[in-house]
Amino acid sequence: MTTMLAGQAADARAKGEALIRQADALLCESWNEKMWANGGPIDPSPTVDQAVNGGHRWLQIECSRCRTKREVDLTALRHPPTTAVHDLASRLRCSKCAKAGRRPPATLLQLTPLPRQAAPET
């Protein structure tokens, strides 16, 4: 009897985790749609943990000065996983402009499941 209940508990947990992953993915897609429609960082946004759990571990950004687009791996950031994605806008900087002695902020574009460029930078 206990083995059967433990098996049912494991099945229920697996189904619950799959539903949470699906909900997190839908939250990321919804946030992307709002970003495209309104053109700016939308509050509230998914947390870093929700984005990664939903399969959207890449954040596409654009330098506000030189318009260079980059992808940031959210799993590589040294921020608490409960940090909202829109809060990262003021913390991310263009590495290309930093070499020129400037530190313009990045503009958030969207969350993506895969990087669009070969070498993403933070």
Question: What pLDDT does 37 receive?
Answer: 85
Question: Do the domain assignments include residue 84?
Answer: yes
Question: Do the domain assignments include residue 80?
Answer: yes
Question: Do the domain assignments include residue 118?
Answer: no
Burial of 50 (0-12, 13-18, 19+ CB in 10 A): buried
Cis peptide before 115 (omega within 30 of 0): no
Question: Do the domain assignments include residue 121?
Answer: no
Question: Do the domain assignments include residue 66?
Answer: yes
Q: Which domain holds residue 75?
A: 2-112
Question: Do the domain assignments include residue 29?
Answer: yes
CB atoms within 10 A of CB 3: 7
pLDDT digits (tens), the chain, 122 positions? 778 888 888 899 999 999 999 999 999 999 999 888 877 667 789 999 999 999 999 999 888 888 888 899 999 988 888 899 988 887 888 777 777 777 777 888 899 998 876 554 54
Tell which residue, 77, 44, 43, has the closest CA to residue 59.
Answer: 77
